[in-house]
Amino acid sequence: MAVSAAHASHVPTVQFDAALIRKLSQQGPRYTSYPTADRFTDQFGVGDYLQAVNSVRAMGARNPLSLYIHIPFCDKLCYYCACNKIITKNRSKAETYLTYLKREIEMQGKLFAEMNQVEQLHFGGGTPTYLNDAQMADLLAHLRKWFRFATDDAGEYSIEIDPRTVSPERVHTLRAQGFNRISFGVQDFDPDVQKAVNRIQPEEQTLGVMQAARDAGFRSISIDLIYGLPKQNLITMGQTLNKVVAANPDRISIYNYAHMPALFKSQRRIAEEDLPSGETKLDMLSLCIKRLTDAGYVYIGMDHFAKPDDDLAIAQRQGRLHRNFQGYSTHAEAEMVSCGVSAISAVGSSYSQNEKTLEAYYESIEQGELPIARGIKLSVDDLLRRIIIQMLMCNFELSIKSLEMAYPITFAHYFATELEKLRALEQDGLLKIDSEWLTVTPKGRLLIRNICMVFDRYLNSPREAKLERLKYSKTI
């Protein structure tokens, strides 16, 4: 669905309105998928996934693939972390895991034979660099055996890095092994904050590894930060932002720390009295937005900022931006094949998730089956709502006419209930509605999740409307 030239040509802007955020911030999904992962069921199994792959093949398999590889291991526990990870210093566990992971990759490779052109690869975790050079080289060779990879200049091959686990030499090796994008977990440069979350990471170490990535010729360098951590305040946040801007990464992600100790056991080690107040968190977010936009970064959406010449910013201007389980992406049409414990695939009109424990994951592969535990087949209504949420999350606007051309609906009739809710948000200044476009205002961009929640049929069913939202983080 194309974005009009007039709508796409402007540089995206964002406006911080504290009163509006206080009024409207609520718990809700992040929409890395629609339907969201909590809607997956165990009634979806391997047979359903095979059917989805066959459907893609039957339609001509026009799209390239995006591969995600999950490495769950970490050396140390970071208290804030809500990822699916395994803390261990027993390196033999990684050897065992790789044996099974390679078997899963082979199964997927055979399934996608002759439609296995990969244009995007992402290693996440855990800590992907928990693997040593030899293990990484062996795993990448195995991937290349079963999938065809686009050339270095055409493909995006990224890896998440804990700067504490790599040397400058290792960074050069990763580039030589084929990675051309790199993402660093920083969170905060302040020593007291680092101590409070059990992640001691000297500034010099992080900056040294970043410089090595630049010297090695990585196409894009990204930094992850978190606001709302224990011991953080406006002064420490400002100092961290100054250091990040000076380091000059291509992309910056600034996540809101969601303190949910009932769900994530490690967060119980964080002293609640050390957490900044809600007001201080808002002030920190305001500071982040001002500091980064003043430094020339473009607000992409949600938590992401990028330089104007970065692929993400270009894709957004051209209406090609996409959102998936890794966040924002430039490969909107790619089928997403994910390997590893807990990994989620998006193939055809389906989502599927692997087993979440090593034992169950290994057992499925021992039986010669893909380790799929649950998933969902998307209905026509799901697909329609997914494209709406994608367009709003990525481009901050929706062409009603384009949608009506793609689907046999009259927007005003099909979404009459949703339009009533949107009118209330329009009154609050979050968006503008006319007969042809829904356009999110600069004020509304920070609250984009609120707008998307209006279109979430699962969230808005009467039975679930109140209780279901308690498991989500706050929209701001």
Number of structural domains in the chain: 2
User: Residue ranges for the binding site?
Assistant: 68, 74, 78, 80-82, 125-127, 160, 187, 199, 224, 258, 344
pLDDT at 2: 39
Cis upstream peptide for 191 (omega within 30°): no
Give pLDDT, residue 454: 96
Provide the residue type at 362 as one letter. Y
Burial degree of 354 (CB within 10 A; 0-12, 13-18, 19+): buried
What does each C-alpha distance from 80 to 83, 275, 347, 384 come to in angstroms? 9, 11, 31, 35
109 domain-assigned = yes
User: How sure is the predictor about 475, in pLDDT bands with cuts at 50, 70 and 90?
Assistant: low
- pLDDT band of 4, cuts 50, 70, 90: very low
Is 219 found in the same domain as 115?
yes
Binding-site annotation, residues for [4Fe-4S] cluster: 74, 78, 81
What would the pLDDT profile of 216-257 be if each residue is shown by its tens digit?
999 999 999 999 999 999 999 999 999 999 999 999 999 999
Q: Where are the alpha helices (DSSP H) in 258-379?
A: 278-294, 311-317, 358-366
Do 26 and 144 share a domain, yes or no?
no
The CATH number linked to 447 is: 1.10.10.920
| SS3 category, 145 | helix
3-state secondary structure of 119: strand
Average pLDDT over every residue of 251-280: 92
The answer on 29 and 40 residing in a single domain is no
pLDDT single digits (tens) 119-131: 999 999 999 999 9
Sign of CA dihedral 68, 73, 74, 75: negative
How far apart are the C-alpha atoms of 267 and 261, rounded to whole Å?
5
pLDDT for residue 421 is more than 90:
yes
CA-to-CA dists, residue 95 to 91, 104, 139, 353, 372, angstroms = 7, 15, 11, 23, 22
Same domain? For 29 and 106 the reply is no
Model confidence at 3, pLDDT cuts 50, 70, 90, reads very low
263-269 average pLDDT score = 90
64 & 44 share domain: yes
pLDDT for the residue numbered 379: 96
Q: What is the mean pLDDT of residues 109-125?
A: 94
- Angle value at C-alpha 52, between 391 and 342, nearest 5 degrees: 75
Of the candidates 444, 473, 465, the one whose C-alpha atom is nearest the C-alpha of residue 23 is: 444
Position 79 scores a pLDDT of: 92
371 lies in a domain? no
Residues 169 and 261 reside in one and the same domain: yes
Residues 12 and 58 in one domain: no
On whether both 25 and 84 belong to a single domain, the answer is: no
- Work out the average pLDDT over 147-163: 95
What domain range includes position 207? 35-339
| Nearest CA-CA partner of 337 in 143, 179, 142, 152 | 143
The residue behind tokens 């983080």 is 473
**Binding residue ranges for S-adenosyl-L-methionine:** 68, 80-82, 125-127, 160, 187, 199, 224, 258, 344
Give the residue from 339, 367, 402 where a domain finishes: 339
- Integer Cα distance of 400 and 107 in angstroms: 41
Is 335 found in the same domain as 298? Answer: yes
pLDDT in tens, 365-394: 999 999 999 999 999 999 999 999 999 999
- Residue from 453, 402, 400 nearest 425 by CA: 453
Q: How confident is the model at residue 6 (pLDDT cuts 50, 70, 90)?
A: very low
Q: What percent of the chain has pLDDT over 70?
A: 94
256 and 312, same domain (yes or no)? yes
Q: Do residues 202 and 165 share a domain? A: yes
Decide if pLDDT at 310 tops 50.
yes
Query: Quick one: tokens of 315?
Result: 């894709």
Which of these ranges, 139-143, 210-214, 304-308, 463-467, has the smallest mean pLDDT? Answer: 463-467
| pLDDT tier, 414 (very low <50, low <70, confident <90, very high otherwise) | very high
Q: Has residue 358 been placed in a domain?
A: no
